[in-house]
Amino acid sequence: MSELKPIEYTGGDHAVLLLHGLSSSPLEMRFLARALNRQGFTAVAPLLDGYSAGSPHSRKERWISAAVREFDALARQYARVSVCGLSIGAALSLAVVHERPSAQAVILLSLTLDYDGWAMPWYRFLLYWAYYTPLRHRWRYREEEPFGLRNEALRAKVARAMQSSDFSEVGPSTISLPALHEASRLAKCVRRVVPSITTDSLVIHAIDDETSSPLNARFVGSSIGSSFLRTIYLDDSYHMITSDNEREIVAREILLFLRESEAADDVADGKRAPVISKALARRLRQIAALSR
């Protein structure tokens, strides 16, 4: 398919490696790539063999190796390289910066270490066991509404695309059981290494994420070894925050963070405290009021 191609926008000497979600395509990162490039960054969203749509399934070790190769290729050309991932791509980003601590920054969008969002099927805990049955080769998880989107107009557009194609700009129509199994293996591996990661880190997560709850973001916020950590929660988006209502906010916060990371690296001016958004504070007050 013509959509199955990498994205590469050449800019300045700070390159950002953009890793899309599981079994999907760089289309998920196109808006963000363009926004970064307009501000002078080089933005590259590759296709990864065995991970991206259109390639035969492979194990998570190959995903990591493929992503690290993309990082190394950028590092040979550019003075700074940051890594940004969406969903399972965010978990893959953590694996990359663990292997390459020279990364300038890591940006985690809708980080998915556990499929624990409100729209996930009740039987998800059975999938681990199903992998070791004949279902392994037959069963596929089918994406359904809301397709990670709070924006109803875009959701309707994606629903039409899902009917006529294997994937849309917000991901695939189905995901195989082996791919989900490898995603679980990746998440387990990443959970172990998060405390050893000291790379500047930005975490952006929707409070109402239907795929991965904010607990995923909170785990990183409480465990990662970064001295420069910023956490932002959104209140008008679902899982696909690079496409949903607040995609401009996501792009703007990433740009600000990368500039601050550059400046902090240049002057080496010490630690910064995590930042919690007003959206999260408001939601926490609502939850506290309901519990009284």
Q: Kindly report, residue by residue over 173-187, the tens digit of the pLDDT.
A: 567 778 888 999 999
pLDDT of the residue at 66: 97
pLDDT of the residue at 122: 54
> Of 87, 201, 212, 237, which is the active-site residue?
87
Q: For residues 55 and 80, is the Cβ–Cβ distance under 8 A? A: no
CA distance 213 to 207: 7
SS (H, E, C) 257-284: HHHHHHHHHHHCCCCECCCCCHHHHHHH
Answer with the residue of higher pLDDT: 269 or 97.
97
Answer whether residue 260 shows pLDDT above 50.
yes
Average pLDDT taken over every residue of the chain: 84
Least confident of 79-83, 145-149, 187-191: 145-149
> Of 98, 209, 237, 243, which is the active-site residue?
209
For this structure, is 239 an active site residue? yes
Q: How many residues does the chain have?
A: 292
Answer whether residue 163 shows pLDDT above 80.
no
For this structure, is 205 an active site residue? no
Q: Which fold has domain 7-119+179-291?
A: Rossmann fold (3.40.50)
Above pLDDT 90, what percent of the chain? 61
Q: Dump pLDDT digits (tens) for 48-77.
A: 999 998 788 889 999 999 999 999 999 999
Question: In which band, very low, low, confident or very high, does the pLDDT at 30 lie, cut at 50, 70 and 90?
Answer: very high
Ramachandran sector of residue 148 (left: φ over 0; alpha: ψ -120 to 50; beta: rest): left
Answer whether residue 282 shows pLDDT above 80.
no
The encoded tokens of residue 291 equal 């519990």
> Of 173, 226, 239, 243, which is the active-site residue?
239
CA distance 240 to 259: 24
Q: For residues 91 and 17, is the Cβ–Cβ distance under 8 A? A: no
Answer whether residue 42 shows pLDDT above 60.
yes
The mean pLDDT value for 264-273 works out to 59
Q: Dump pLDDT digits (tens) for 186-204.
A: 999 999 999 999 999 999 9
Q: Dump pLDDT digits (tens) for 202-251.
A: 999 999 999 999 999 999 999 999 999 999 999 999 999 999 999 999 99
